[in-house]
Structure 1
Amino acid sequence: MADPQKASALPAHGGYGISTFGGTSGLRLIYATTSLIIKVTASEGLEEMIGISFLAVGLFWVWLSWFLASHLPKWIGIATHVWQRVLTVAVFMLLMVVPFVDHIVGMRQFERLCAEETGLQIFPKVVDTKRGVETSSARELVGGTAIPISRSVSTISDLDTGEVIARYNHFSTRGGVIGGLPMLGGEHVCSIDGPRHPKYEQYRALKKQIHLTYGQPE
């Protein structure tokens, strides 16, 4: 026969032990991470501190999401164990994804712009060009995107005649509000003048052909 005192220590959800991580175990993990931040800050440097800080914030959000998700069924009076599990998993997944929705959607839009609108547009007069100069327009925000995406237009002109011989787009973004934090103020960039662009060799060949320089000609 089971010991009543031991039985009382079992989870209150009829064997559905969902609140372990949301209780003292989760808090101990966060406390340990916080202590590690203090040690790293004192012994290493800023970069290590920032990295561990991101880890601490991430762990805290995971703990908070699980705490809320695991307690919500009880708070709203759901007694069926199956529905408790379903609601807990659904709410937890929702809380884990929602902070990154803008980043996920926005980066897909950014990738589409990179794939479809960063090609090198070349005009017929390029065959007569001996010297070229490249200038870039000011950045403008692209409309209808989930995250701020900037576009600037680079124009390549004949240095002797001033005629435009080529043009291409340059896109950049810092990502979403939360998803972009690991960039630490940096940017995702995409244009044909970057070595990682699939058509970079086309730009490189043009640059070599017309002895390309940058900025306004003197």
Structure 2
Amino acid sequence: MQHDFLRFLAGFVAWLAVVIFLSKRIPHWLSVTQHGAAISLLVFPVTLVAPVAGELIGRWQFNRLCEREAVVTLSPAWEKVKRAGKRDFPIVPLDGYLIRILSQRMKYFDIDTGKIFFTKQAFHADGGFLAYQMEPGLGVSTACWPNDRIQVSNKLNSEQLLKLEELK
């Protein structure tokens, strides 16, 4: 616990140093000769809170994605399935989000017909830019799975269907 706090403190001090450096240099980089001090004072708080703002916006994006797309899909022909196989797809990063979000998909298929009858879509988030860059421990990893995945899996008796394939 103390180690995590020291790592957090070191990360905060390093970020503070970067913010001070940027606050002083941005007016120079923009070739601002007048009001440079005022611009530095405006840049400082914006730059200081940017990672927190990114984290908050990224978490909001993650929650919206989960609400919309972390779902199970069940084919109407699921009751006819006697033996099932399962395909786990690679976990892939998604573009267009402020935090790193990974997509995980699983599909169950009817061994006899080859048709997909059950899919699950989940998402994982590791945290914002600073938390992700500063090693595991600072960021909080979060996952969202479909709310009804267990009920649907039990209804299908998916474990039994998968075992039947293993016996063959």
Shorter-normalised TM-score: what interval?
0.5 to 0.7
Q: Does 1:153 align with 2:105?
A: yes
TM-score (normalizing by structure 2): 0.66
From 116, 137, 157, the equivalent of 1:211 is: 157
Where does 1:44-63 land on structure 2 (aligned, <5 Å)? 47-59=1-13, 61-62=15-16
Percent identity between matched residues is: 22
For 1:132 and 1:172, how far apart are their aligned partners in 2? Answer: 26
Runs (4 or more) in structure 1 with deviation over 4 Å come to 62-70, 130-133, 159-162
Cα pair 1:130 1:211 within 8 Å, conserved: no
Cα pair 1:132 1:211 within 8 Å, conserved: no
Distance apart, 1:154 and its partner CA: 0.9
Any gaps of 5 or more consecutive residues in structure 1? Answer: 1-46, 193-198
User: Taking structure 1 as reference, are residues 68 and 166 closer, same or farther at Cα in structure 2, changes over 3 Å only?
Assistant: closer
From 123, 126, 137, the equivalent of 1:174 is: 126
- Secondary structure of 2:96's aligned partner: coil
User: Taking structure 1 as reference, are residues 57 and 205 closer, same or farther at Cα in structure 2, changes over 3 Å only?
Assistant: closer
Distance apart, 1:144 and its partner CA: 2.7
For 2:44 and 2:99, how far apart are their aligned partners in 1? Answer: 24
- Secondary structure of 2:60's aligned partner: helix
More strand by share: 2
Task: Give the corresponding residue for 1:117.
Answer: 69
Distance apart, 1:64 and its partner CA: 6.7
Q: For the aligned residues, what is the CA RMSD?
A: 4.0
For 2:129 and 2:14, how far apart are their aligned partners in 1? Answer: 18
Higher relative contact order (CA 8 A, sep 6+): 2
TM-score (normalizing by structure 1): 0.54
User: Taking structure 1 as reference, are residues 183 and 190 closer, same or farther at Cα in structure 2, changes over 3 Å only?
Assistant: farther
